[in-house]
């Protein structure tokens, strides 16, 4: 007797997505897995909802497809009860990048006031290089994963653009005649990386706030529902086990566990989300 094919669904936490292009690439990778019926990726919550045939794809294959696409897999679920990080979590590298880039910008600000001067080339090199290759290493890693996947993303553009500015500055410095001071572009590469890091940190903080709000709404949902069984008796059933057509009893003062059609009785409901 042939086995019955059933549909299953799973949620996958994804790390490393930065733009809509990443969302499209992850969805494409998931849909290529045999047995996948549909995949929806959410950039804000950094998660994917995948529907698949139980006799085809498996959660392990789906996670491997995400990794092969160049992204990480977060093992903890979106709704896990984890301690919320500080609002300034992850800001230390951003602050260091801004601190190193600030002296490179000072001559530009002084030029607006009519004072023309530049930092020595070796000092510009020492300030910009850690920002480029240490603090900005994340852009090279993400760009390399994109190249392996034969595609591009914002991280690859940042890596190529800033590397061009840094490399041109080094070449102009080393090829300059003794005693001359060529115009260098170390400040451009350092400032671009610093500002992109700042933007990514703000984006991450906004995502944490969104996730916290979703988790708070999820916590409002009751864990159990009062279901009237076929024999007329009432039993408490986990919300996740409710089936289409079940008759649910909502007592006064309780939260409504699921959407449905009112069949009997009347009351007042607070429809606000919190």
pLDDT, tens only, 160-176: 999 999 999 999 999 98
Distance CA 134, CA 155 (A): 15
Per-residue model confidence (pLDDT) at position 186: 95
pLDDT, tens only, 262-274: 888 888 887 775 5
**What is the number of residues in the chain?**
274
Average pLDDT over residues 121-147: 93
On the CB side of 236, CA atoms within 13 Å amount to 4
Q: Integer distance in angstroms from the first to the last C-alpha of the chain?
A: 51
Beta bridge partners of 10: 50
Task: From 187, 175, 257, 177, select the one nearest 223 (Cα to Cα).
Answer: 257
pLDDT(239) > 70: yes
- Are the beta carbons of 65 and 32 closer than 8 angstroms? yes
pLDDT(12) > 80: yes
DSSP summary character for residue 63: H
DSSP per residue, 146-188? HHHTT---HHHHHHHHHHHHHHHHHHHHHHSPTT------HHH
Both structure tokens of 84: 């919320």
What average pLDDT does the chain have?
86
pLDDT, tens only, 188-221: 999 999 999 999 999 888 888 887 887 777 777 8
The CATH 3.30.70.100 domain(s) of the chain lie at 7-74
Task: Return phi, psi of residue 8, to 5°.
Answer: -130, 165
The rounded Cα 51 to chain-centroid distance in angstroms is 21
Distance CA 165, CA 161 (A): 7
CATH 3.30.450.90 for domain 7-74: no
Task: Return phi, psi of residue 211, to 5°.
Answer: -65, -40
Cβ-proximal residues to 31 (8 Å cutoff; 6+ apart), any chain = 38, 39
**Angle between helical axes of 186-219 and 121-130 (0-180°, round to 10):** 20
Q: Report the predicted TM-score, pTM, of the whole model to 2 decimal places.
A: 0.74
Average pLDDT over residues 82-94: 81
Name the pLDDT band for 79 (thresholds 50, 70, 90). Answer: very low
The rounded Cα 99 to chain-centroid distance in angstroms is 26
pLDDT, tens only, 22-72: 888 899 999 999 999 999 998 877 889 999 987 778 889 999 999 888 888
């Amino acid at each position: 007797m042939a086995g019955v094919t059933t549909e299953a669904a799973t949620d996958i936490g994804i790390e490393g997505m930065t733009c809509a292009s990443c969302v499209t690439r992850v969805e494409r990778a998931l849909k290529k897995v045999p047995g996948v019926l549909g995949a929806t990726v959410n950039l804000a919550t950094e998660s994917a909802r995948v529907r698949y045939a139980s006799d085809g794809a498996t959660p392990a294959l789906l996670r491997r497809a995400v990794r092969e696409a160049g992204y990480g897999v977060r093992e903890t679920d979106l709704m896990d009860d984890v301690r919320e990080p500080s609002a300034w979590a992850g800001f230390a590298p951003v602050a260091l990048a801004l601190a190193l880039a600030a002296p490179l910008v000072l001559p530009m600000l002084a030029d607006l006031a009519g004072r023309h001067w530049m930092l020595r080339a070796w000092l510009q090199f020492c300030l910009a290089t850690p920002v480029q290759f240490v603090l900005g290493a994340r852009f090279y890693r993400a760009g390399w994963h994109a190249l392996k996947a034969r595609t591009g993303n914002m991280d690859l553009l940042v890596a190529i653009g800033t590397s061009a500015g840094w490399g041109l500055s080094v070449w102009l410095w080393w090829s300059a005649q003794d005693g001359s001071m060529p115009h260098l572009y170390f400040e451009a590469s350092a400032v671009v990386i610093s500002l992109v890091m700042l933007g990514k940190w703000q984006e991450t903080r906004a995502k944490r706030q969104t996730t916290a709000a979703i988790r708070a709404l999820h916590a409002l949902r009751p864990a159990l529902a009062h279901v009237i069984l076929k024999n007329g008796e009432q039993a408490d059933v986990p919300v996740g086990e409710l089936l289409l057509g079940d008759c649910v009893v909502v007592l006064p003062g309780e939260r409504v566990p699921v959407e449905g059609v009112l069949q009997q009785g009347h009351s007042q409901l607070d429809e606000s989300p919190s």
